[in-house]
Amino acid sequence: GSAGPGDGLLRAPMPGQVRAVKVAEGEQVTQGQVVLLLEAMKMEIRVQAPFAGTVTRLEVREGEVVERDAVLAEITPESA
């Protein structure tokens, strides 16, 4: 599709392992809230909500290994 920066798909910025999932499906999140933590190359990467909304889909579990650009979660904006 024509998914731009305005879509609610959170993707892995690099390959890594999911350290912690901080939200649940259906949960309200605020802009900048940490949705999950990835560990890559001994660094912890915080994946944050791009805008306020609702977590409509979680695609990964703790301990799962993901590739770069893998979809981790989907957030629907509040205004939708």
Cα separation, 80 vs 69, whole angstroms:
24
E-strand ranges in 1-80 read 9-11, 16-21, 28-29, 34-40, 43-48, 53-58, 65-66, 71-77
Residue 8's pLDDT is 93
Cα separation, 77 vs 57, whole angstroms:
13
Residue 11, beta-bridge partner list = 71
Domains of the chain with CATH codes? 9-77 (2.40.50.100)
Residue pLDDT, tens place only, 58-75: 999 999 999 999 999 999
Reported pTM: 0.86
Residue pLDDT, tens place only, 9-60: 999 999 999 999 999 999 999 999 999 999 999 999 999 999 999 999 999 9
Amino acid at 2: S
